[in-house]
Chain A
Amino acid sequence: MYVLGIETSCDETGVAIYHPKQGLISHFLYSQIDMHSEYGGVVPELASRDHIRKLVPLIKQTLLDSHLSSRMIGGIAYTAGPGLMGALLVGAATARSLAWAWRVPAIAVHHMEGHLLAPMLEENAPQFPFVALLISGGHTLLVRVAGIGDYQLLGESLDDAAGEAFDKTAKLLGLGYPGGPKLSELARHGKPAFTFPRPMTDRPGLDFSFSGLKTFTLNTFNASEKSAQDKADIAEAFQTAVSETLVIKCRRALQQTGLARLVVAGGVSANKQIRAALTEMVLKEKADIYFPRPQFCTDNGAMIAYAGCQRLLAGQQQDLRIFARPRWPMGELSNCQ
């Protein structure tokens, strides 16, 4: 069964076709980042307006590239949440009516399940069970994954997501939007002049908190001379603090669950220092680490096609109602085994 996957939960329009035996057939992404950067952040209404301009041309492009006839598409998967309501609705309405037109089943996919399963698209895919760290602009989660839909939340951020902390800190340092990658670039020129706290690592548990770190960064910045070198040093100290916090929590999660596989996904997992630090820790723990390819770390249609395909194969599908949930706890997902 060829499954068409559609992702429109935030500021990227993603479309892909996946087949359970042949793997990923085709995938395309359109990013709205350039448009939103003029506004200093994602403007939800503009995101929705852009999705409705770009989605259908992107579906056509993906079909064309796949060399498949539309009659061969056996199901349609769409991101139903969490995300921006207006943006989700564009993908959900289009996907659901397209499935009705084609007389094929439609499945609503949880965006974070997509991220969680993105490493399954790689040749060296992890076996279940594993521990997954999801780090993006909207989420910071540690999850024990026993199978498709069998997720146990181990810990999550109690305030800002890791990516959000990166973006806000970057904004404070005057790096523009989206600041995460720019902050990371600036950190390369930083010297270890400051030591920032590693939030919530001095107590048991797997939850995160990054808003205090953001405030600490602000105070340090205001107390500095705000020179270019100060900025680079602060960027370095901030990134190291986030990175080491993630390392401590992931090590704890592996030890606590007794598992030897760590999957790292979500937009922040493209950060090189974080990748390197987690890889080093996992080696010491004699465990294995898995990352999606960089282009599937951020939002994409391929992970939605994959996750939707697994659920369709398990016999799940949605009725004719258009399903969009801006807030959708992962714990409410059904087991697929």
Chain B
Amino acid sequence: MKLLAVETATDACSAALSIEGAISERYELASKDHTQLILPMLDGLVNEAGLQPADLEGLAFGRGPGSFTGVRIATGIIQGLALGLDLLVVPVSTLAAIAQDYFDHHDENVAFVAMDARMGEIFWGVYQRDAKGFAQLMGEEAVTPPGLVEFPELSGVGLGTGWGVYQAALLERLGDQITHFESDHLPRARAIAALGQRGFDLGQAVPVEQAMPVYLRDKVAKKESER
């Protein structure tokens, strides 16, 4: 199938087009320019493949967690496309995308993904490579202080910006389950496209109304009655 994917949840902005599993991608590190870059990226990918928007058959996007605004840019873009082209959508975890991209390029089977969530917390998820090579969530994703993360008894690599900011707390918690860590990995659309295609194959695509962000941090203000 012809599947378009976007990812704007972090400082990285990227789009990918998967045609029968062959993925082309545009990727830029541009923390404030996502709004300027993302649609020209999509347009370029579709034009380069000799396609029209109406030729697309499926959509995927990084549904978070990440920057709230960034996650909503991807969601808004994808909702507009899904509505306009009458397509189904696979929302993909940004943490899963970080793990997937690593599995695709390294000989590693378990990833402890930690993204800096500010306010002394991280977005956390543990992923294991399944028999077909796809990142499979172990347990649940969470927003949590690094010293309280939960994890299975597996050893693997630490990935994501959270490992840059909170390496001491995370290493103390996880000990020798961590073979090494790399804090410079950001989610990117080629992995969103791969996991999106997988989602379509598994029948996990949803209609536009269900293509929603996952923020993990859901308490963002106090009601007057709570002050």
Contacts and interface: CB of A to CB of B under 8 A. Distances in A.
Contacts of A45: 68, 220-221
B42 A53 contact: no
A89 B76 CA distance: 8
Given A320-B39, A322-B38, A38 B225 contact: yes
Contacts of A70: 84
Interface stretch (B92-100, B132-140, B205-213): B205-213
Given A59-B83, A60-B83, A89-B69, A46 B220 contact: yes
A17 B108 CA distance: 53
B15 to A, nearest CB: 11
Contact of B68 (A40, A48, A320): A48
B21 interface: no
Contacts of A100: 39, 42-43, 53, 80-81, 84
B170 interface: no
Interface in A72-106: 85-86, 89-103
B43 A93 contact: no
Residues of A contacting B: mostly: helix
B72 interface: yes
Given A56-B208, A101-B84, A320-B40, A93 B53 contact: no
Contacts of A101: 53-54, 80-81, 83-85
A100 B73 CA distance: 15
B43 A320 contact: yes
A298 to B, nearest CB: 23
Interface string A313-332: 00000001111100000000
Interface of A: 38-40, 43, 45-46, 48-49, 52-53, 55-57, 59-60, 70, 85-86, 89-103, 320-324
Residues of B contacting A: mostly: helix
B79 interface: yes
Most buried by A among B79, B212, B213: B79
A39 B38 contact: no
Given A89-B69, A89-B76, A39 B35 contact: no
B84 A40 contact: no
B22 interface: no
7 contacts: A45-B220, A45-B221, A52-B72, A53-B212, A56-B79, A96-B80, A322-B73
5 closest cross-chain pairs (CB), A and B: A101-B84, A93-B76, A97-B80, A98-B80, A322-B35
B31 to A, nearest CB: 15
B197 to A, nearest CB: 20
B211 to A, nearest CB: 8
Contact of B76 (A38, A85, A97): A97
A89 B83 contact: no
A93 B80 contact: yes
Contacts of A91: 76
A52 B68 CA distance: 12
B106 interface: no
